[in-house]
Structure 1
């Protein structure tokens, strides 16, 4: 068996230096498009490594918070420029490590650059308000102060954008950071941290410790000197992190996925709806928290929509994301592939009709990767497992309804409430959907997976801790308000 590897070992980043884990152990990061290709080796760290990182981050925060917002912003600009210079390298690493196509990876990396520049500018924006006091001789105003040390726990599906949209606001508002990336994307994270190192951040300001969530994530959650924890991942892990942070009085922010619906009304532009459903549901192999999962279609247009959808899905080219003609890459890991296949099996057992895909792809030279056919079910009712649980794979469940009222009821009838979209030309239908949909992100005639960096992002119900990320809303988590009363 031939093993392809660049044989590079990526270290933790602590106190401005690249250091090995205290136990000297490493994990192997492999290419999901070819399990025989090793992308690199990353540290399998222990609690002691987190303790070291927190110690230096706490010390560094004393001087970091004293810098002006503009001065902190200059470092973010430098990091953005460094990532931009290495855009293709980082994007190629992302494709090799977690499987999304190179154009998607490059777009995500460019988004990371844009996020850094956005928050660099945030250093020049206001951080408080003047409030009229009851005493005419006094002055009363508010300002915002950093939390201190922030733990950042991120998933593998957006290994550049999600860490940056947490790290950038944390830093600009005067916090220092401990990053724990997902093991499946730790090489990509190391490439990003190399750019922060190149930008010359003061030592200890930003640190990275890699390793299993059960060890490193838990150590971050429990550490008494970590003042805030921000997490994106599964709802079960998120709730555990939230509970642990709450018990010791730390601030926490959780984004925990979705079961996102698209409603296709009988007056919709079906071609537009089909394109958006495929893009929202199958790009990145369906491995997005905002990915379309349930497609709720009015009966008058159901058959026509279904036929157009299947026809377009049949054109999708699955393969290695570095190949130019490939539209959809592999699942990010063998475990994720098996999870998706288990949901397909469950769908069939519960009575849904599999009308396209549903199998692992092992022909055409793809047997060594974790490739999955784009999959579509119909005759799905909303009580089925595939209509209730987040699959995180390229699986669409078609649900036929008679009325829009029924469609909205079904769309809301899940524990999640992250994103939702509707396709209709009727203004009344749009307004009803906006008012009645229990989701943090509502989109009209657009795919469910669109997220804008300058706008608040987060979910309702069990999709989040009811906090919001990105845009100006980020300051609500990364700072505390201080009220000042001054009397001569």
Structure 2
């Protein structure tokens, strides 16, 4: 068991700032094991963190960008060196299989190195002026203090893809990770500290966001990844009321369309990966499969066979393909979607996994009511809901009915069908003959409708959120 506390103004903070108590985190694969005990922050600690971030803002902005990049590179090197230990801890704490956890560490390393490189990129543009003797140019400058609120499903990669650009572009950060993953969060923080990040530049607040008061939103920018309900009903109003700019990455009801001309071997493998790996706990997970009627029965049978054969168990065991759901609440949510009242169809695979943890077997639901909860809502568990469609037009109509718009994929051998799907699907991300998840780190990421708000994340798009433009007219006084 590891005791964990928040980190504010260059120090780990304990009882002297009035922490409200400790909270145990169980191993989702063995609920009898306590992985860590964390002391949660309170509003006073949060206010102290924001004040310290403001105090450190000017000195971090004045630090040459390449020097900031050096810190990110050292952090990447340290994470890479610590991959094995972090992956084991993530498996115990969050439930990912060790290979998935190690892959997440690798992705985080790549993101840090990408944004370290961006500190050497041009930070503005020069323009010709109509006025003689005038130099006209613009620069990108930091927004100031950023509040980063991150979820438990990717406890390393999502914080990194928010914190790395924020720091690279000269901002200070107050980070509130999910209360479910304090151990992994502390490992990331330690890498930044050991890389030489100055005190006051990055702060970590452990605990539930509801208990931290308005301080999280009394900043210059708020970036949040989580559920649509929390993002739109809590974060957005609070941040806007404080005058902060806002970036929300929210839920998804991601569709995979499988046409009759698709390579079924490829489609089954990719849909199964998208729906079931990481126990379906991804905002980009495949949730709704729209199959052309002539191949629907075969697709359902093959997905069901894949689900039945998948090895569900301890995420640290080498044979395990799918670990447990992260929490008891997630397991209850999974089971609620298998209730006939939630789908009105037939469950042809699925059910609880081994005893002793939050294990759920991959599930396939056929002939669901298109108006049911299972067909309309985000599931966030290893469940694929299959519905028949007549053709591509029918699939596009059905897919665009959802109020989400994050990712979508199509499986087809016809180029014309692929191009039409790319043009007409209402999502921020489109994939052809690939799973809906598994996205690259150097391209824009974000959804539309109820899947997102504000600028996209990742890649060069990150600059739009973490900086603002300043235009300068410089005329010689003589």
Specify the TM-score bucket, using the shorter chain as the normaliser: over 0.9
TM-score, length of structure 1 as denominator length: 0.95
Provide the residue aligned with 2:471 in structure 1: 483
Cα deviations by residue, 1:433-476 (Å, 9 ceiling, x for unpaired): 00001111100000000211100000011100042000010010
Task: Work out which of the residue numbers 10, 14, 27 in structure 2 matches 1:31.
Answer: 27
Residues 350, 70 of structure 1: alpha-carbon distance in 2 compared, 3 angstrom cutoff: closer
Provide the residue aligned with 1:404 in structure 2: 392
Give the superposition deviation at 1:62: 1.0
* Deviation >2 Å, runs of 4+: 21-24, 131-134, 218-223, 347-350
Provide the residue aligned with 1:219 in structure 2: 214
Give the superposition deviation at 1:44: 1.4
Residues 133, 381 of structure 1: alpha-carbon distance in 2 compared, 3 angstrom cutoff: farther
Provide the residue aligned with 2:448 in structure 1: 460
Provide the residue aligned with 2:243 in structure 1: 249
1:40-55 aligned at under 5 Å gives the runs 40-55=36-51
Provide the residue aligned with 2:348 in structure 1: 355
**2: CA distance, partners of 1:467 / 1:321:** 35
Residues 433, 466 of structure 1: alpha-carbon distance in 2 compared, 3 angstrom cutoff: farther
Give the superposition deviation at 1:301: 1.2
Cα deviations by residue, 1:229-254 (Å, 9 ceiling, x for unpaired): 10000011101211111112111110
Unaligned 5+ runs, structure 2: none
1:77 counterpart = 2:77: no
**2: CA distance, partners of 1:382 / 1:412:** 13
**1: CA distance, partners of 2:51 / 2:369:** 52
Cα deviations by residue, 1:405-460 (Å, 9 ceiling, x for unpaired): 00011111111000000001101001000000111110000000021110000001
1:103 counterpart = 2:92: no
Give the superposition deviation at 1:314: 1.5
Cα deviations by residue, 1:275-296 (Å, 9 ceiling, x for unpaired): 0011001011000000000000
**1: CA distance, partners of 2:139 / 2:150:** 29
Provide the residue aligned with 1:343 in structure 2: 337
Provide the residue aligned with 1:200 in structure 2: 196
Provide the residue aligned with 2:159 in structure 1: 163
Cα deviations by residue, 1:68-98 (Å, 9 ceiling, x for unpaired): 1111000001111111111111111111001
Provide the residue aligned with 1:3 in structure 2: none
1:392 counterpart = 2:387: no
Kindly indicate whether the alpha-carbon contact (under 8 Å) linking 2:50 and 2:216 is maintained by their aligned counterparts in 1.
no
- The number of residues matched between the two structures is 473
Task: Work out which of the residue numbers 2, 6, 10 in structure 2 matches 1:16.
Answer: 10
Residues 155, 237 of structure 1: alpha-carbon distance in 2 compared, 3 angstrom cutoff: same
SS in 2 for 1:314: helix
Cα deviations by residue, 1:75-123 (Å, 9 ceiling, x for unpaired): 0011111111111111111110010111000000111011000000000
Residues 350, 453 of structure 1: alpha-carbon distance in 2 compared, 3 angstrom cutoff: closer
Unaligned 5+ runs, structure 1: 1-5
SS in 1 for 2:196: coil
Kindly indicate whether the alpha-carbon contact (under 8 Å) linking 1:221 and 1:241 is maintained by their aligned counterparts in 2.
no
Q: CA RMSD in A?
A: 1.2
Cα deviations by residue, 1:120-177 (Å, 9 ceiling, x for unpaired): 0000011211223232432211101111111110000000000000000000000011
**1: CA distance, partners of 2:404 / 2:147:** 25
Give the superposition deviation at 1:348: 4.1
**1: CA distance, partners of 2:416 / 2:383:** 31
Provide the residue aligned with 2:262 in structure 1: 268
